[in-house]
A and B are shown apart, each in its own frame.
Chain A
Amino acid sequence: MTRLAVPKTYKLYIGGAFPRSESGRTYEIVSAKGAFLANASKASRKDARDAVVAARGAFGGWSGATAYNRGQVLYRVAEILEGRRAQFVAEIVDAEGVSTAVATAQVDAAIDRWVWYAGWADKYAQVAGNANPVAGPYFNISVPEPTGVVAIIAPQDSSLLGLVSAVAPALVAGNTVVVVASERLPLSAISLSEVLATSDVPKGVVNVLTGSPAEIAPWLASHQDVNALDLVGAGALDWVDLQIAAADTLKRVLTPENGSDAAAPTLGRITAFVETKTVWHTKGLI
């Protein structure tokens, strides 16, 4: 008996929900061989605006959670990713036109990277922070604190690994994220959103937009409620202009990276989105 396949509607991920684009637009996603795969939502500037509002709303809770708790939540994302490896492998094989072995390697690398970053959640402050010696009866302590809402243009040539490499480090420190997925390979990003939605990540902490980075990025770069901009996947855009727009509101900006080791895992990607706060505290009378 023949059966009609039930195709999946890929929507955006904003504030823990999966809305269609406010603009009602979609665009076709085709496989490496040119076959139709799915319609993805084409996000507009208003979707980006809504995503920033959701991210801002989630910032207090996520940054206020203990580092240990954030680490556990991120580990759980990796656990659920592990259980859905087959789905991601199949999606990547279709979208990128690679062999199952290559796709599996990408998914495994993405899961491992997520675990690697999750481990840093309650450890990076020990490396990036310091107890400063001062000439007086004070403790002088520098601690890294999350910077706020981070807008990310994900690497454009990778379905899953690039996205994970850009999103995970921003989350570790307690930032919330608005990420514009790869324009050509956005389906894994929405499947990752389903993983996030069913794990313990609070709604709004990660918001995923699909569509044209060239259209959305300028709105995020100039948005006055976005605190940092990761242009790792914006190499093909007019990213100098994005930097200039971001400078108006003193955003932290990471510049584009190209090549297969783009957004390689480093502590620097975590500390790029933190602000160091130094406090003085009197020593007790012992």
Chain B
Amino acid sequence: MTGTQIVPGERAIALLGGEANDANLRRYLHGIPGVDAVGLEQRAAGLGTRSIKTTSKAWALDRIIGLIDLTTLEGADTPGKVRSLVAKAVTPDPADPGCPRVAAVCVYGDMVGHAVQALGSAHGDPDQGRIAVAAVATAFPSGRASRSIKLEDTADAVAAGADEIDMVIDRGAFLAGRYGQVYDEIIAVKEACRRADGTYAHLKIILETGELNTYDNVRRASWLGILAGGDFIKTSTGKVAPAATLPVTLLMLEVVRDWYRLSGDKVGVKPAGGIRTSKDAIKYLVTVAETVGEEWLTPHLFRFGASSLLNDVLMQRQKMTTGHYSGPDYVTID
């Protein structure tokens, strides 16, 4: 996967009409209208009530699998754990060869080499039925490290073969209003995603909405991430509660929609953490289709960051195939 070939910083200069410094960013981000929290939550709740059954459900389940970033981000990760994760990513349901593959595996930077090796010929662009390798970088999950360490972390993962980098923004700087610092850091990380051949690894920007406190902040952070050149904006690290929620994801999708109308650029969204059941995941699909449109339901524009979700989707799939309820004995123990 090559990622968008935009020059870092290009988006902001066009929109802000000047240099992307603290003052200009603040003027722009604080000029964005506030979020109607009640309306947002009501809209999200309404989208969650759609009834998706039979063939639509079968389509949705397969599509969910194809949009999953199968993730293991534990201190206890080992090369063996990554290999078994990759095996599951390639063949989610060994009993059903028709089961689609997941979009990507998401691991810590030091595990990228193991993931690439384990994927072998299955490694590649998820739009072509292969599996990408995503790595979290920039001192994930806290983001508390000096910039040189963060850039080194990113470059290291890209050099090891990561197709996608999930970076965390500096929430401390964002909440303190130092937007320029957050912006510059994203630009620098984007630059560190550059490969030897001049292409860029896909950059996903983790906003960690659980630490941003208000919907207004989420909206501003989403704009900031997009302006700085993110290919994806991602809700959470999964290490902070609350992680992804439907209203927050809806809000981010609305920003992506507005940006698309403004510029024609398509930016991806990745809710991550806390999505454990097929039922929840289907609500997200509905929200995407109703907010930005069905064309966003492809791996390069929408992902689920999840691990236990896959097992639940597989059990639902087995139920639809066999007509009997399945159980956890028929999927892997993660």
Contact = CB atoms under 8 A, between A and B. Distances in A.
B324 interface: yes
Contact of B329 (A219, A224, A248): A224
Interface in A31-55: 49, 52
A49 B327 contact: no
Contacts of B325: 49, 52, 219, 222-225
A222 B324 contact: yes
A56 interface: yes
Nearest to A223: B325
Contact of B327 (A219, A223, A245, A248): A223
Contacts of B328: 56, 225
B96 to A, nearest CB: 14
Main secondary structure of the interface of B (DSSP, over half): loop
8 contacts: A52-B325, A222-B323, A222-B324, A223-B325, A224-B330, A225-B325, A225-B326, A226-B327
Contacts of B326: 224-225
A102 B135 CA distance: 71
Interface string A229-265: 0000000000000000100100000000000000000
A224 B321 CA distance: 13
A213 B202 CA distance: 54
A223 B327 CA distance: 8
Interface string B298-332: 00000000000000000000100001111111100
Interface centre among A224, A225, A226 (most CB of B within 10 A): A224
A13 to B, nearest CB: 20
B215 to A, nearest CB: 31
Nearest to A45: B325
A247 to B, nearest CB: 12
Interface string A61-102: 000000000000000000000000000000000000000000
A24 to B, nearest CB: 14
Nearest to A149: B327
A219 B327 CA distance: 13
Contacts of A224: 318, 324-327, 329-330
A224 B319 CA distance: 10
Contacts of B330: 224
A225 B325 CA distance: 8
A215 to B, nearest CB: 14
A68 B329 CA distance: 29
Nearest to B326: A224
A223 B330 CA distance: 12
A75 B328 CA distance: 32
Contacts of A226: 327
Q: Which 4 A-B pairs have the closest CB atoms?
A: A225-B327, A222-B324, A224-B327, A223-B325
A224 B325 CA distance: 6
Contacts of A248: 324
A283 to B, nearest CB: 34
Contacts of B318: 224
Contacts of A223: 324-325, 327
A205 B142 CA distance: 40
Contacts of A225: 325-329
A91 to B, nearest CB: 32
Contacts of A222: 323-325
Nearest to A52: B325
Given A219-B324, A223-B327, A224-B324, 7 more contacts: A49-B325, A52-B327, A56-B327, A222-B323, A222-B324, A224-B330, A225-B328
Contacts of B327: 52, 56, 223-226
A49 B328 CA distance: 13
Interface centre among B325, B326, B329 (most CB of A within 10 A): B325
Interface string A199-222: 000000000000000000001001
A56 B330 CA distance: 14
Interface centre among A49, A52, A222, A225 (most CB of B within 10 A): A225
Contacts of A56: 327-328
A80 to B, nearest CB: 32
A248 B327 CA distance: 14
A219 B329 CA distance: 17
A141 to B, nearest CB: 26
A222 B324 CA distance: 6
